[in-house]
Amino acid sequence: MNKAQFLSILRKMLSSLPLKERNELLEDYEHHYAFGQNAGKTEEEISEELGNPHEIAAEVLAEYNRNQPLISSNSRSRSIMACIGLFMLNFVLCVVPLGLAIWAVWVCLVAGSALLILSPLVALFDFVYNSYFSSSKLFATIAMTGLGIMLAMGVFSLGARLKKVTVSYINWNMSIIRGGR
Amino acid sequence: MDIHVQFKKGALELCVLVLIHRKPCYGFELAQQVSQYIQVAEGALYPLLRRLVADGHCSTYLQESNEGPPRKYYVLTPEGEQYMNAMVEEWNKFVSSVSKLLKEGAANE
């Protein structure tokens, strides 16, 4: 292996290093070749003495990665990071708006079933106010009451389920902020 | 053989510290001197020297030369000297306990 080959392997393998650091290290090796040649050695002999450039680069990278500051394990800063992450999830990714929309739909269903159940009262008001009795209206409102009761049952179990999901979502948020899991 | 390599790497740092303590050296010179004592891939020297500088155990100065590029000399700092002394002590303790163990092993056989 000659000097150019040795240096190009190092340069390629150390591409993730900061440029200044990489260039300084490469310069060290370049100078080493120059001194070696002054001492009467060939490029091949010098490369042989330097050793495997792949191994050297792997060592340098391992050392560099060890010294990279890790995200602080300090629980306070961890909580802040978690809060920011949850904020992104909650607001940027629309989890909260979506949840609110689902709850709004549920409220409408509750109102709808209540109206259906109470529709005979509306018919009664109609009879009293307009003093006009129609049996078809009466039967229609009784049928609507039946529908309303069925809808109300569905809405009730849907509400219980929605509440469960919402509570567990909030608990999950809290547990992440506290750092427990 | 891999264990052998790891041994040498550990010893290399100590050798370099002691050699620089004797007198300031530039990289190539240091490589030549180290190879007189232990057989090691000389390329491992430069990352080691950079680390010693980064940790404050060594400092460097440049000296122009008539032939070839300027020489970067490495000098031991006061902290580096303390570090070297601690390491020498550790090394002696370690070596003597291992040789003691080896001797005992030989006696028991």
Q: Which domain holds residue A36?
A: 3-67
Q: What is the DSSP string of A99-160?
A: HHHHHHHHHHHHHHHHHHHTHHHHHHHHHHHHT---HHHHHHHHHHHHHHHHHHHHHHHHHH
CA–CA gap between residue B51 and residue B55 (Å, rounded) = 6
Query: Which residues of chain B does A43 touch, with a Cβ-Cβ cutoff of 8 Å?
Result: none
* Closest CA of chain A from B107, distance in Å: 40
For residues A161 and A78, state if they share a domain.
yes
Same-domain status, A93 and A115: yes
Note whether A58 and A82 are same-domain residues: no
Q: Is the ipTM of this complex over 0.90?
A: no
Which whole number is the average pLDDT over B16-36?
Answer: 93
Residue appearing with tokens 């106010």: A129
Q: Give Dmax (Cα) for chain B.
A: 61
Q: What is the pLDDT of residue A64?
A: 83
Structurally, chain A folds into a number of domains equal to 2
**Same structural domain for residues A92 and A169?**
yes
Domain boundary residue among A31, A48, A67?
A: A67
Kindly determine whether residue B27 and residue A51, on different chains, have CB atoms separated by under 8 Å: no
Q: Is B43 on the interface with A (CB under 8 A)?
A: yes
- Give the end of a domain, one of A27, A48, A67: A67
Residues A54 and A80 in one domain: no
| Shortest alpha-carbon distance between residue A70 and chain B (Å) | 18
Q: Which residue of B has its CA nearest to A36?
A: B28
Residues A62 and A147 in one domain: no
Contact: A29, B41; criterion CB under 8 Å: no
What's the CATH number for B3-107?
1.10.10.10
- Residue B84 reports pLDDT greater than 80: yes
Q: Kindly list the domain boundaries of chain B, sorted by start residue.
A: 3-107
Which tokens hold the place of A158?
Answer: 């849907």
How far away is chain B from the Cα of A71, in angstroms, using its nearest Cα? 22
Whether A51 sits inside 8 A of B42 (CB atoms) is yes
- Statement to judge: residues A50 and A94 lie in one domain: no
- Chain B residues in contact with A36 by the CB 8 A cut-off are 28
Inter-chain touch A38–B67, beta carbons under 8 Å = yes
* Torsion angle (degrees, nearest 10) of CA A5, A51, B13, B103: 170
pTM over 0.80: no
* A102 plus A47 within the same structural domain: no
Task: Identify whether residues A132 and A174 lie together within a single domain.
Answer: yes
Tens-level pLDDT at each residue, chain A (181 residues): 899 999 999 999 999 889 999 999 999 999 999 999 999 999 999 999 999 999 999 988 988 887 776 554 566 777 777 788 777 777 666 677 888 899 999 999 999 999 888 888 888 888 888 877 777 888 888 888 898 899 899 999 999 999 999 899 888 878 877 775 4
- Give the pLDDT confidence score for residue A73 in this predicted structure: 54
Last residue of a domain, one of A52, A67, A82: A67
Kindly state the tokens that stand for B35: 């190879």
Same domain, A58 and A85: no
Cβ count near B29 (within 10 Å):
16
pLDDT of the residue at A181:
47
Looking at the structure, tell me whether residues A59 and A82 fall in a common domain. no
List for chain B the helix, strand, coil content (%; round to 5). 70, 15, 15
Buried b vs exposed e over A2-11: b needs ≥16 C-beta within 10 Å? ebeebbebbb
